[in-house]
Amino acid sequence: MLPIRKQFESKKSFPFHIVYKQTKDLQDELPEHTHEWLEIVMIHEGKGTFFIDQTFYDIQKNDLIIIPSNTIHRTIPDKDHSLTSTAIFFSPALLNHSTFGNGFLYLKIFGESKKGKNYKYTLEHNHQTKLNDYIDTLMHEVETESPDQVNAILLWLHVTMLHLNRNCLTWKTGIEKQSSFGPKWFKEALIYIDQHLDTSLDLNSLSRRFSVSAAHFSRVFKQLIGINVTDYITMKRILLAKDLLSSYNEKISTVAEQCGFTSMPHFFRTFKKLTSMTPSEYRKKR
């Protein structure tokens, strides 16, 4: 089973969605998934583990997770401490691109998180209190069907992003400690996969490289990530292809090769299966 590509339904053509202070147990969480929108997750109560990209984090009250678009992630609540969290999803197109000021600064925290592969933040108490107030205000505006609802949501979304960029990036003094969740060889395997997507990767070669049996490698991978090794590698390759198609003007055949595909028909079939578009259509859309 491939990672879920999360879809957002809305009665309006307004690319914003908030899941406010929802409590979930392990069985309620989605398996590993990805989506086109940006996401902010605020932990209000409980404990658990958060997997994103190739990293596991221990999460608890007041932790903040920044999730760039097209980034594989999964929440694993602690079996004894259900997680209560707020998740805010939105399209980057909502953020201001006025000729005055630098609209791209609102997106800075997503770019910095992806660049440094560091997605977890913890704010100082006074900044955390303000963030909670902004989240409450956003939810209030979502529930208030006034003529200026969209304007109000946009305003408070911009204020929220400005607050995060000023205080998460300014006060961050180092890399957040990674979780002890999972064996060392498994974490090293995730990094290896991420760095070698342009090469031949399969269960047998990976299990030999990390000196574990193929059966054990497969079992641990499915248990911790939620999908099998082959599907994970496929999704990572397609996410890399989407990034290359959006950011560079390389020929599609070159992109396919850089993502580890040796057959163009296979690349086209796989890309369309996971994105509902051909590579050419995706590039034009972006």
Which tens digit of pLDDT belongs to each residue from 70-108?
888 888 888 888 899 999 999 888 886 554 556 568 888
110, part of any domain: yes
Amino acid at 199: T
What is the per-residue pLDDT for 89? 94
Asked if 147 and 262 sit in the same domain, the reply is no
CA nearest 187: which of 56, 31, 65?
56
Q: Which residue type, as a one-letter code, is found at position 76?
A: I
179 domain residue, yes or no:
no
> For the segment 252-264, what is each residue's pLDDT rounded down to a tens digit?
999 999 999 999 9
Question: Where is the domain boundary, 111, 146, 171?
Answer: 171
Residue 122 shares a structural domain with residue 12: yes
Radius of gyration in angstroms for the set of CA atoms belonging to the chain, rounded to a whole number: 20
Please check the confidence at residue 246 and state whether its pLDDT lies above 90.
Answer: no
The answer to whether residue 178 scores a pLDDT higher than 70 is: no
In the chain, count H helices and then E strands.
Answer: 10, 10
Residue partners of 93: CB distance under 8 A and separation at least 6: 15
- Residue 17 CA to residue 33 CA, distance in Å, equals 17
The pLDDT tens digits for 259-280 are 999 999 999 999 999 888 999 9
User: Does residue 115 sit in the same domain as residue 148?
Assistant: yes
Q: What is the average pLDDT value for the chain, to the nearest integer?
A: 86
Q: Does residue 88 share a domain with residue 14? A: yes
Residues 166 and 194 in one domain: no
Read off the pLDDT of residues 19-34 as tens digits, 9 standing for 90 and up.
Answer: 999 997 655 555 556 6
Q: Rounded distance, CA 256 to CA 198, Å?
A: 9
**Residue 18 CB burial class (10 angstroms; 0-12, 13-18, ≥19):** buried
* Cβ(235)–Cβ(274) below 8 Å: yes
The whole-number pLDDT of residue 11 equals: 46
The phi, psi pair for 84, rounded to 5°, reads -110, 125
Q: Domain of residue 131: give its range.
A: 4-171
Instruction: Select from 150, 171, 192 the last residue of a domain.
Output: 171
Asked if residues 270 and 255 have their Cβ atoms less than 8 Å apart, the reply is: no
> Of how many residues is the chain composed?
286
State the pLDDT confidence band at 158, using cuts at 50, 70 and 90: very high
Predicted confidence (pLDDT) at residue 181 exceeds the cutoff of 80: no
Looking at the structure, tell me whether residues 162 and 239 fall in a common domain.
no
Say whether both 154 and 188 belong to one domain.
no
Domain harbouring 235, CATH code: 1.10.10.60
Given a cut of 80, whether residue 16 has pLDDT beyond it is yes
CATH number at residue 117: 2.60.120.280
Contact 106, 47 (CB under 8 A): no
- On whether both 192 and 96 belong to a single domain, the answer is no
pLDDT of residue 4: 46
pLDDT of amino acid 3: 47
Measured at the CA of 71, the angle between CA 69 and CA 75, to 5 degrees, comes to 115
Name the token pair of 189: 């395997």
In a domain, 206, yes or no: yes
Are 112 and 18 contained in the same domain? yes
Q: Does residue 139 carry a pLDDT above 90? A: yes
The number of distinct structural domains making up the chain is 2
3-state secondary structure (DSSP) of residue 87: strand
Look at residue 109 and tell me whether its pLDDT is greater than 70: yes
Residues 137 and 204 in one domain: no
Q: Is residue 227 part of a domain?
A: yes
**225 has a pLDDT exceeding 70:** yes
In a domain, 13, yes or no: yes
Residue 178 lies in a domain: no
Let me know if residue 176 belongs to a domain: no
The reply to whether 24 and 98 lie within a common domain is: yes
Which residue among 112, 143, 171 closes a domain? Answer: 171
Tell me if 177 is assigned to some domain.
no
Q: Which residue has better confidence, 285 or 31?
A: 285
pTM to 2 decimals? 0.74
If asked whether residues 162 and 268 sit together in one domain, one would say no
For residue 87, what pLDDT is reported?
93
Q: Which of 8-12, 104-108, 111-115, 210-214 has the lowest mean pLDDT?
A: 8-12
